[in-house]
Each structure stands twice: as C-alpha cells, then as structure tokens.
Chains A and B, each alone.
Chain A
Amino acid sequence: MSSAQRGTASRSAAPLDATAIRGDFPALADRPYGKSLVYLDSAASAQRPRAVIDALVRHYETVAANVHRGVYQASVRATEAYEGARETVRAFLGAAEAREIVFVRGTTEGINLVAQSWGRANVRSGDEIIVTQLEHHSNIVPWQLLCEQTGARLRVAPIDQAGDVIVDAYRDLFGPRTRLAAIAHVSNAIGTVNPVAEMVAIAHERGVPVLVDGAQAVAHMEVDVRALGADFYVFSGHKVYGPTGIGALYARSDLLEVMPPYQGGGDMIASVTFEKTTYNEIPHRFEAGTPHIAGAVGLAAAIGYVRALGFPAISAHEDHLLAHLVASLAATSRVRLIGMPRRRVSVVSFMIDGVHPHDVGTILDREGIAIRAGHHCSQPLMQFYDVPATSRASLAVYSSREDIDRLVAGVEKVKEVFA
C-alpha cells in the first residue's frame, strides 16, 4: 500500500509521513556523489511516484492503441483511458464539463494555444494585454508574439519589494482597450500566491477575461477554476508528479466553442474535402494529431496520488516546512532572501553575499543537494530585484526537515569555500 492510499483513510486529520511518501518516489533513492539525494527543485520538475510509473508501464503493456480511431477492443480501451483522464483533470480543477479540458504538452503550449487561437480572433491593433512583473517567460513571450502580430501592447502590473502584486496599480491598468489579463497563480521564482480571485473580479467588472498560469499552484493547493472565476487555467503534468509532455488547458466552454483551431490535422476534424473542412467539436478541435495518450493516463494517476494524500494534509506539511526553510535561511549570515510575499507556497529564492548562484549550485550539487540556480525564466523579475540570477529551493510532498537542514549546512560549506 502506498502512503497515498494510506492517506485516503485519514484524509485531513493525520499529518503526512514524509519518510513513507519518499519511499513512493523511486528516483529519490538516487545517491549523487555517494550522498543521499536532497531534491529541492520540484518547482522545475517534480519526481514521480511509483503509482504514475506503474500506470505508464501498464498502459504500454496492455493498451497502447490510438484513440478515437479503431473499432477493436484495444482502441476502445485507449479512448476510455484517455477520456477518463480528461474527466480526472476536470474534477481536479473543479470545471463544469470535461469538454472544457484540452490536453496540451504543458503550460507553455496551453498559453500559446490561447494566444494564437483566442488572441488572434479577439485582439486588434491598439488593444492591451495585462501581465504582472512576476510572470514566467512562458506567460510573457506568447503575448509579445501576439502583440507583434496584431499591433496590441503589453501592460505590466507592478509588484512591491516583498514580491506582491500592487493590486491598486493592477486595477488602474484596465482601460477601454484591455482585452485580457494573464496572471500567474503562483510565482515560480519567489513563490508569491497572487490574490487571483480578487484580480479576476477586477477584470470581470470591466468585462475582461483572465488566463491564470497555474503551473506552480496545482501541486500545492486545491484549485477550483469556477471559484477563482478563471476563464482560462493552464498547468503542466510534470510539476504535479506526472509525466513530462502532458498538461491541460481549462477554457470556459462558451469561449472554447467559438475559438478557431490552433493546429490542423487528424482528430480535430469532422470531415475533410479539398473544398471545405469542418472541424470536430470541443475539445477535440484543439487536439490535432495523436495525443500523448500515455501521458494523460500518467497525469490522471498523478492526480489520483495527490488527491489521495489530500490538500489539507499536503498544505499542512509543506507550509510547516516552508516556515522552517524561510526561518533557517533568514537566520543564516550572508544570506539574503529575495522577496517576502504575504502568502507563499513551496518556493524560496535567496542570494549568498559575494557568491554567484551558479557557484552556489555547483557546490551544493557535490553535497548531493539539487537546487535551481539561474534566472528561472523570469528575467523581468530578476531585473526588478537587480540580480543576475538567484538560488532557488522548492518543496514538495516528499520534502523533509532533514532536506532543509542539509541545505543550510550546504550553504555554510559555500560560505567556507568563498570565505
């Protein structure tokens, strides 16, 4: 029995058993340089539990046919597994209907889909799209491409030194030409949880739809797209313990119904002649070609794992560790935390005085500690804090106090090398 299954019985009451959970993740048994692995880079990519790996193996061993095609049994089973995964994602996000869920390669593809399909149909020269200073490049560049194509322009909601969006300034950006707001649910670089429901309400008061980049949120908190009011919500499977190459876009059905196709090909059509092609219904219209069937199955298994643990228990575990991480780093001399947002999940960025993050990353690596050192695909945020890069530690369900204590000891080693 995996610890996720054990979690089902005591959903919100018992705290997570980090040791048992760690045992669910085979990759965490790795011993880099002969040391037990401290994996603090789950914000880049989380590890996968045995349940996900087993689901992938089972799929390829038993089903492995194409979907929506054959009349033979294996194809029917593949279709059931794939559409079943869509239903799992629907329930995970609290969407009304499974046809509002489009499988994509990940968050990046989901945002590009909205920019090129909804955006090209609705954004004109002189229109405006609002993003925030916190965004990942994948929630900036697709809009810049759209702006180049249409003559629209990007407006940027500022943040304060703590790393919180200045909501009044965000509200002031809205005008008669605002067509969309595209905002992160959680900052990948500093962990800020944006007040998304409030930011969506501000946009909706002015009739502006909102895309929410949920890449860093879905592994750490219950997401209900209808409670948030999000018109579009996007996430990646591999950041929620699923496979790479699979993610999902939620789009309100009334928006999706009238969006033009994003890519052309098989599966997205109803009928094709050289004179005229009619398109399939949603969501299939947006899934041209053979989809990542195994990926969808693996993602459903990952969601099953997370839901069995339950978000009350996950949050209690991760919030406790996050407080310990922040306090430990803040109490370490020569260490400076980048951003101190009001509400934060999982992610902490820091600098060690006089040491470039890349050197920090190399020295910690040899201690068996995996952190991210770089600009985190958030160069505008790095420019705001006037740093070339940061060191970033991020937590997941399998993280432990020992991981954090090993990190802090590793930071002392860095300081020793750079004494």
Chain B
Amino acid sequence: MSEMRELYQEVIIDHHKRPRNFGKLEGANRHSEGYNPLCGDRVTVYLRVEADIIQDVSFDGSGCAICTASASVMTEVLKGKTLADVESLFGKFHDLVTGPPDEPAVTEGLGKLAVFHGVREFPVRVKCATLPWHTLQAALHQSDEQVSTE
C-alpha cells in the first residue's frame, strides 16, 4: 500500500476529487485541448495572458486521477507567473516525472508540484501527468491543433 501512496499522494487524491480552477475561464484569450488516446484523458486549458504574465488560468475535461490532479495543481501554481517562469517550471516538472526511477527526484523549486515525484516509478503513467502541461504549451503558442500524447 505504501508504494501506491507514493503515486497516489493524499494531495493528488484530493485534487482529483475536488479539482481547483475547474471550468471554462471567462475572458480567456488562449485555450487548447489535449487528448491521451491510451486512457481517454481529455483536458482543455484556458488562459488569460497579459504582458507575458499568466493573469488567470483554468481547465476542464475528464481524466484519470493523475491527469486531473496534475491539471489542478498546475493551475494553482501558474497564476502570476511570467512565460519564462512557466518554461522553467515545465522543464523541472518534466525532469521530475520522467527521471530514472532509481535516482532520487529533485523537487527544488517545484513547490506543490513535488507531490508528483512518484510518477517516475510508473512509466506508463507519465503521459497522464504531462498532458496538462503539453496542452498548456500549445495554448501559450496558440496552436489550434489538438495536442495528443501519442
């Protein structure tokens, strides 16, 4: 059971059950939709970006616990961040969840996102955690195409 708790941290279960910033964002000036055909996760990320700063962000869609919690925590940490901050965070988050399972995870500078450190032990679930971030990237770069993890 403890191994399962490494992945399904209480924080993750909580965000899965009560996702934050959930729903369409009024006044959004960018959005993008992401899809993971493996498990059917769907996420749409809405952004209000002004002067290269994320003023507001929300998401909707349906997915597994890892995907939903990842999207929910992501929206919490993004508000007020500059686009450069976002790039840096995504890089760190990506390293966190895709790093070798036998090496300790580096959680410095990740804040709340550190709860996803257990994902690296479950390679088939990495895409669930990164889908909201890839969708965010697409929204920031204003790509109208649907993002797919495949």
Contact = CB atoms under 8 A, between A and B. Distances in A.
A413 B3 CA distance: 12
Interface residues of A, number: 19
A359 B64 contact: yes
A29 B63 CA distance: 34
B11 interface: no
A354 B17 contact: yes
A359 B65 contact: yes
Most buried by A among B39, B66, B124: B39
Interface string A334-364: 0000000000000000000011111100110
B65 A418 contact: yes
A113 B104 CA distance: 52
13 contacts: A355-B65, A356-B63, A356-B64, A356-B65, A358-B39, A358-B64, A359-B64, A362-B7, A374-B39, A388-B42, A413-B4, A417-B4, A418-B13
Contacts of A418: 8, 13, 65
Given A356-B65, A417-B4, A417-B8, A362 B122 contact: yes
B5 A417 contact: yes
Contact of A375 (B4, B40, B42, B65): B40
B125 interface: yes
B4 A358 contact: no
B1 interface: yes
B125 A416 contact: no
Given A357-B39, A374-B39, A389-B39, A416 B1 contact: yes
B11 to A, nearest CB: 13
Interface of A: 354-359, 362-363, 366, 373-375, 382, 388-389, 413, 416-418
B128 interface: yes
Given A413-B4, A417-B13, A418-B13, A389 B40 contact: yes
A389 B37 CA distance: 11
A362 B64 CA distance: 11
Interface in B1-54: 1, 3-5, 7-8, 13, 17, 38-42
Nearest to B42: A388
B51 to A, nearest CB: 38
B10 to A, nearest CB: 10
A356 B65 CA distance: 7
Nearest to B62: A388
Contacts of A356: 39, 63-65
B61 to A, nearest CB: 10
A358 B65 CA distance: 9
